Structures are given as C-alpha cells and as structure tokens.
Amino acid sequence: MAKPRIKVPKMAKVGEIVEIKSMISHKMESGRRKDKKTGKVIPRKIINALKVTFNGKLVFSASLHPSVSANPYFAFDFKVPGSGDMVFEWTEDGGKVITAKKSLKAA
C-alpha cells in the first residue's frame, strides 16, 4: 500500500481551528462485487477504521463501511491546544494498521 497523504499545518495559533485532511490509496473492495471471469464474489477488503489523535488524545475517529469510496478521503477540523504530534491510524480488514504522523508547532 502506498504512503497515505495527510495535511496538517506546520504552525498555528493556540485556539485556532484548522482543517486537517487525509487520503489513503485503497480499493475498498466491498465484498459485493463479482469477478467478471469466474463469477465468484470478490472477498471484502476495506479500511474499516480511521483514528486521529493529538498527543495521545482523540481528535476524530470513524468506522468505515463498504459504502465509503475507494481511496478514502477524510477532512475534519481541529482546535489547536498547543504544540504536538498528530497521529493517523488506518486499520484494514485483517488487522493491518497503517500509520502516519505530523508535528504541529503552536505559536
């Protein structure tokens, strides 16, 4: 799986609300499609969760279902409490976890 893309501002003011964006390359195989050649159902394989924390505290999280589009994209807001690290965790069916981290400096 390719590297996820995340957008977190490098600097922001304490108390400022900033938009955070994330996107990860994934087919989101719904488990409802049939293989054109064999006629068999292609097994479900999706990213089923995204969890975003800042210095260990939850900012945003979501359970994802098969009706989330391929290459899951999520943008949300974040109220800057101070400097720290934002950590993103995507969990795939089967338990594989992909993580990404960005530091933010508060002024």
Partner 1 sequence: MTPISGIKMMKKMIKLTVGVLLLAGFSTSAVLAADGKSEAVKPAAEFGLDEIWSGYHFAKKETQALQDDDFDNPGNLWLEEGAALWSKVDGDAKKSCQSCHNDASKSMKGVATRYPVYYAPRKKLINIEQRINLCRTEQMKAKPWKWKSKQLLAMAVYVNNQSKGMPVNIRITAENKPFWEKGKAFYYKRRGQLDMSCAHCHEKYYGKHIRSNVLSQGHINGFPTYRLKWQKPGSVHRRFKGCNKQVRAKPYGLGSDEYNNLELYVKWRGNGLPVETPAVRN
Partner 2 sequence: MYLRQTCQQGAGMFYAGTANPIRISRETEEQMTDKLHLKVVDRRSFVLGASAVAALGALAPLGSTPASAKAWQDFMKEAIGDAKPAEGKVKVDLPEIAENGNTVPYKIHVDSPMSESDYVKSVHVYATGNPGPQIIDAQFTPLSGKAYVKSRMRLAKTQDVVVVAQMSDGKAYMGKATVKVTIGGCGG
Residues near partner 1 (CB under 8 A) are: 2-3, 5, 7, 21, 23-25, 27, 69-71, 73
Neighbours of 20 (CB within 10 A): 21
Query: Out of partner 2, partner 1, none, which partner does residue 98 contact, by CB within 5 to 8 A per kind?
Result: none
* Interface size with partner 2, residues (CB under 8 A): 30
Rounded least distance, CB 20 to partner 2, Å: 10
Q: Are 18 and 9 in contact (CB under 8 A)?
A: yes
The CA-CA-CA angle for residues 7, 11, 17, to 5°, reads 70
Query: Out of partner 2, partner 1, none, which partner does residue 90 contact, by CB within 5 to 8 A per kind?
Result: none
